Amino acid sequence: MDLIAYDDHHLVAGECKYRSKAIGRQELDHLKLKAQFIPARGREMYYLLASRSGFTEEVKQLKDSHLILIENI
């Protein structure tokens, strides 16, 4: 996990990938698994993925208001 940010009501757990392969569902699931160990203390959890090479179509098609995707870093 590369990033943890929070305020009184929200918590963001994020990872940055600087590789030549698009990020797939496996990386998102792994981030969510690791985020379970962060004591959220009632905060709403968001997940951030930043990728140099973008994301697979499966990840792009997800309808999740708690997922933040950043491409072309």
Instruction: Check residue 14 and give its pLDDT.
Output: 97
Instruction: Check residue 65 and give its pLDDT.
Output: 96
CATH 3.40.1350.10 assigned to 3-71: yes
The 10s digit of each residue's pLDDT in 37-59 is 999 999 999 999 999 999 999 99
Instruction: Check residue 28 and give its pLDDT.
Output: 97
Instruction: Check residue 73 and give its pLDDT.
Output: 82
Burial 27-57 (b: 16+ CB within 10 A, else e): bbeebeeebeeeeeeeeeebbbbbbeeebee
The 10s digit of each residue's pLDDT in 10-28 is 999 999 999 999 999 999 9
